[in-house]
Amino acid sequence: MKLLALLSLLPLAASAADAPKQLKALLFTGGCCHDYAKQKDLLKEGIEARANIVITQVHTDDKGTQFRFKEYEKPNWAAGYDVIIHDECTSDVKDVAFVESILAEHKRGVAAVNLHCAMHSYRTGTPIWFEFVGMHSTGHGPQLPIALTFLPIKHPITKGMTNWATVKEELYNNVKVWEDSVPLVQGKQEPGDKPGTNDAVVAWTSLYGEKKTRVFSTTLGHNNETVADKRYLDLVTRGLLWAVDKINEDGTPKEGYAGKN
> Structure pTM?
0.92
Q: What is the mean pLDDT of the chain?
A: 93
What phi and psi values does residue 40 have, to the nearest 5 degrees? -60, -35
Q: Measured between alpha carbons, how far is 155 from 37 in angstroms, rounded to an integer?
A: 32
pLDDT tens, 150-169? 999 999 999 999 999 999 99
Q: Where are the domains of the chain?
A: 23-138+202-243
Pairing of strands 111-115, 213-218: parallel
Whether 83 contacts 23, CB under 8 Å: yes
How many angstroms separate the Cα of 67 from the Cα of each of 59, 64, 77? 11, 7, 17
What CATH fold (topology level) applies to the domain 23-138+202-243?
A: Rossmann fold (3.40.50)
pLDDT digits (tens, 9 = 90+) for 29-68: 999 999 999 999 999 999 999 999 999 999 999 999 999 9
Contacts of 201 (CB under 8 A, 6+ apart): 135, 174, 177, 183, 184, 185, 186, 187
Measured between alpha carbons, how far is 75 from 249 in angstroms, rounded to an integer?
A: 36
